[in-house]
Structure formats: C-alpha cells, structure tokens
C-alpha cells in the first residue's frame, strides 16, 4: 500500500531552548531563514507524502499560521512587486493538505501518535520528528518508504551513535538482513551505556503499519505517565516483523543547543547565496 500520510508530533514544550520558546514554538526556530519544521515538511513532500497530520498543543498556533495563506502579507508583497518573496510565501501554503490535532497533555510520543488513529485509518504511514534535521541526497523518509515497499513491514531509521550519547535514544537489538537493513529483535528506550543492546540508535523517522495503534493501546505508561513509541513498537514486535534502516545522510540534533548551532552553520555554508561570504567570515574569526 502506498504511503500517503505523515504524522508530525509537535506538541513538545521546547524547554531546552527557553527563553526563546516561551511564547513561540521551538519548531519555528529558523536554520538561516527557514523554520525547522519546514525542512521536515519539505522532506516529506519530496518523498511523495500528500497529507500531513500535526499533533500540536497549546502555544503552537504559529505552526498552523505558517502553513496557511497569509492574506495581508501576500497583498503587501504583491503591491510592492516583491514577486520572488511572494512566490516563496505562497509555496508554503500550497504544499499539501494539513490536519491539526491537539494533544491536550504531554503524555509522550506514543500517546501523540495514538491521537491520529481515526485520521490515519487502516493504512501504513510515516512519522517524522522535527528535532532530527537530516541533510541527504534522497529524503530519508523516502529511503524508508523504499525499504517498506520492498519488505512490507514497519521500518525505523537508525544511526550508529557514540556510546557516550546512547542514553538519549531508543536503541535496537538486531540482526543484519541486507546492506544497511536490520531485523529488529528488541528495543529499549534511553538505556544506560551498559544496558544498551547495540550502538544503533533510533532516529526520528518511521514507517509504521496501522497495527501500531492497537500495540500503543496495550502499552503501559512509564512512571511519569508517558507512553513511549519505542514500547509500542515492542508490542508490535510480538505480532509483526520490524526492520531498521541505517539511512544515508547527515543528521543534526536540532533539539539541543550545540546540534542546532552546528546545523545553522552547516546549512548556511551550503547556501549558494551566503556560503562563500560566511566561510570567509568564519576563517577570519579571532575570538
């Protein structure tokens, strides 16, 4: 079955970027001049996704406005003959169909995804987490769709991570199937270094079969009341095979300050209109 829908959980509070995120969503922070969320939405669209479901929360209205028509702005740009900017602004609202669901309480990624059960229905779908920004030739979610189309099972993106940082991720235990393709045998959410079953960490791109919803319904919340997607996937494993794919691309963890800074610098250096001047500036820096 074709993957047409993608889920974007964007209800997180963004506490790591306070005070910047006090009154505006972390997903709207820009890398150069484009909000983080738009990079990920464009990745989905380039991969052939035609419907996007965002799970939002309080204070996230700017995301809805960003992907909507902005009548006053378009009118002003038209009046001033700023056609290039007008095109850029209109392109965003014409991208695809957007749906918004509110997650009333921060009860975890699994809980957020469960909210989309009725909108997704009985078809496989993609999940993209906005903290993971990935620069690649082929959109990473497309790479996962290709694996899904080959094997017809849920597919999760993984990356080899330095053991020191493994405790920030879901980690898989697996066996190799093909070049960069693994069969998941088990998984654990944010293990200690000694408990991590491998150095393959789950990155925020997933293709999920609709059976994930019943699996999530069976998933117990943790001590803080959160339902983890990783543990929903663990339930799904009892019923279905899950594969992991070591994607090709450079990932930035834009959910932490250093990762965000690295992404900003590298995306700016890649820009044809800024790259050369910015590189010269960086070379000459004396601090």
Residues lying near ligand G1P in the complex (CB under 6 A) are found at 109, 129, 131-132, 169-170, 189, 201-204, 228-230
Residue 229 Cβ, how far from ligand G1P at the closest point, in Å? Answer: 6
Q: Identify the CA nearest to 74 among candidates 61, 93, 60, 96.
A: 93
Residue identified by tokens 């993106």 is 157
Nearer to ligand G1P, 111 or 228 (CB): 228
Minimum Å distance from CB 46 to ligand G1P?
20
Q: Which is nearer to ligand G1P, 76 or 168 (CB)?
A: 168
SS3 (DSSP) at 47: coil
Taking the complex as a whole, how short is the minimal distance between the CB of residue 110 and ligand G1P, in angstroms? 8
Q: Closest distance between ligand G1P and the C-beta of residue 157, in Å?
A: 9
Q: Could you tell me if 178 and 163 are in contact, meaning their C-beta atoms sit under 8 angstroms apart?
A: no
Q: Give the list of residues 6+ apart from residue 66 with CB closer than 8 angstroms, or none.
A: 28, 35, 37, 38, 92
The answer to whether 111 and 226 have CB atoms below 8 angstroms apart is: yes
* Bridge partner residues of 156 (DSSP): 206, 244
Nearer to ligand G1P, 50 or 190 (CB): 190
The distance of closest approach from Cβ of residue 73 to ligand G1P in the complex, given in angstroms and rounded to an integer, is: 32
Q: Which is nearer to ligand G1P, 129 or 141 (CB)?
A: 129
Q: Would you say how long the chain is, in residues?
A: 287
In which residue are the tokens 């009548």 written?
71
In the bound state with ligand G1P, the residue whose beta carbon lies nearer, of 124 and 170, is 170
């Amino acid at each position: 079955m074709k993957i047409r829908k993608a889920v974007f959980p964007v209800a997180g509070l963004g506490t790591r970027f306070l005070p910047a995120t006090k009154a505006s969503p972390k997903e709207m922070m820009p890398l150069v001049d484009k909000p983080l969320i738009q990079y990920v939405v464009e990745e989905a669209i380039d991969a052939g996704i035609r419907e996007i479901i965002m799970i939002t929360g309080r204070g996230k209205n700017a995301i809805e406005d960003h992907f909507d028509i902005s009548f006053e702005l378009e009118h002003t740009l038209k009046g001033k003959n700023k056609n290039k900017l007008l095109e850029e602004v209109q392109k965003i609202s014409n991208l695809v169909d957007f749906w918004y669901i509110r997650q009333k309480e921060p009860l975890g990624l699994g809980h957020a995804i469960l909210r989309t059960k009725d909108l997704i229905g009985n078809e496989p779908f993609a999940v993209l987490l906005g903290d993971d920004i990935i620069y690649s030739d082929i959109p990473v979610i497309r790479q996962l769709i290709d694996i899904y189309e080959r094997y017809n099972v849920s597919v999760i993106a993984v990356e080899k991570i330095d053991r020191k940082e493994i405790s920030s991720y879901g980690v898989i235990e697996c066996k190799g199937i093909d070049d960069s393709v693994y069969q998941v045998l088990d998984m654990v959410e944010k293990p200690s270094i000694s408990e991590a079953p491998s150095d393959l960490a789950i990155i925020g791109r997933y293709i999920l079969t609709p059976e994930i919803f019943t699996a999530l319904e069976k998933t117990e919340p943790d001590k803080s009341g959160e339902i983890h997607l990783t543990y929903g996937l663990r339930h799904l494993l009892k019923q279905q095979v899950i594969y992991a794919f070591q994607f090709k691309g450079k990932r930035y963890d834009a959910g932490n300050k250093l990762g965000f800074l690295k992404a900003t610098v590298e995306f700016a250096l890649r820009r044809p209109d800024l790259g050369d001047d910015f590189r010269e500036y960086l070379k000459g820096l004396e601090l």
